[in-house]
Amino acid sequence: MSEKPSTVAGYPPDQVARVKATCLYLATKLGDLTDDLIVVGGLVPSLLIDQEHLPDDVSPHVGTLDLDLGLAFALVGEHRYETLAERLRKAGFRADEKDGRTIRQRWRIGEPAVTVDFLIEPEDAESKAGRLFPLDRDWAAIIAPGLHLAFLDNRMITLEGRTITGEKARREVRVCDAGAYVALKALAFHIRGENKDAYDLYYMLRNYGRSIEDVVAHFVPLLPDKTALRAVEYLKLDFLDPEAIGPMRVAQFLYGRSDVDLQADVAGFVGEFLRQTEAL
């Protein structure tokens, strides 16, 4: 995945609408492949949490600069990725470029461009996290540990509006739900330490559903999975202490500095999530 800005200032407020429009456009082109595709990453909070009716003390999610799309590994074994790649090309997507070099895992559309990062989870993914898994001559996916959890905990979300090409449309997209999202963010943060991943995790725990119990309800069914258990260990290590890297980096992302009250809040939500998870 492309490097994330380290503070909220790097996320223009209108970009999330362009990413949603790109997601809607993809859904009109890839609708019959819905079972093998899933929206993950920074767009998820604004899809799962109603941004139009937030409590007075909650700010809208800062959004995302790009769309992260998870691919079921079955696409590889059945060679259906070739069909998907061809549809992407016909829809106007092209592999991104930087300094004259093709970035096979990131495709783009429009000007200014919106980019789509593709993720996949082969065996032994954690030891290969962030590396590329080749799919086609100009297409690869980023190896993402824990992606299979999103295919276990997800929901269909309706997108409606204009696509990135200006068409009116309404489609359903498969979106990673709260339990898998927390696990994926815990794994991603432990591996790469990005401020934005810590913020996304905190935002989901604090604002999803009616209370943190709703996140727990999605997470507990995942606990027989060894990857979910590893995510729990990472949460304990990185987020339980207000001065641990998780809470500190949420504060750095939002304020550009440490903040005792915010760090305590982050640690408190993670601690309550872990207490309820282990109690059930």
The CA distance from 143 to 168, in Å, is 34
Neighbouring CB atoms inside 10 A of 216's CB total 23
Tell me the pLDDT tens digit for each residue of 220-264: 999 999 999 999 999 999 999 999 999 999 999 999 999 999 999
Averaged pLDDT, 49-64:
94
Burial of 206 (0-12, 13-18, 19+ CB in 10 A): middle
With cut-offs at 50, 70 and 90, classify the pLDDT of residue 99.
confident
253, 6 Cβ separation under 8 angstroms: yes
Please tell me the distance from the alpha carbon of residue 245 to that of residue 258, in angstroms, as a whole number: 11
Give me the residue label for tokens 């729990």.
232
Give this prediction's pTM: 0.95
Contact indicator for 135, 85 with CB cutoff of 8 Å? yes
Predicted confidence band of residue 84 (pLDDT cuts 50, 70, 90): confident
Mean pLDDT for 99-109 is: 90
* Cβ atoms < 10 Å from Cβ of 168: 9
pLDDT of residue 15: 93
Give the tens place of pLDDT for each residue, 137-196: 788 999 999 999 999 999 999 999 999 999 999 999 999 999 999 999 999 999 999 999
pLDDT recorded at residue 253? 98
Average pLDDT, the chain: 93
Residue 275 has pLDDT above 90, yes or no: yes
Using pLDDT thresholds of 50, 70 and 90, give the confidence band for residue 11: very high
Greater confidence, 39 or 73?
39
Q: How far is residue 256's CA from residue 258's CA, in Å, rounded to a whole number?
A: 7
pLDDT band at 280 (very low <50, low <70, confident <90, very high): low
State residue 46's pLDDT score.
96
pLDDT of residue 81 exceeding 60:
yes
Q: Which residues contact 136 (CB under 8 A, 6 or more apart)?
A: 81, 82, 85
CB 247 within 8 A of CB 263: yes
Give the pLDDT score at 2: 54
Confidence of residue 119 (pLDDT cuts 50, 70, 90): very high
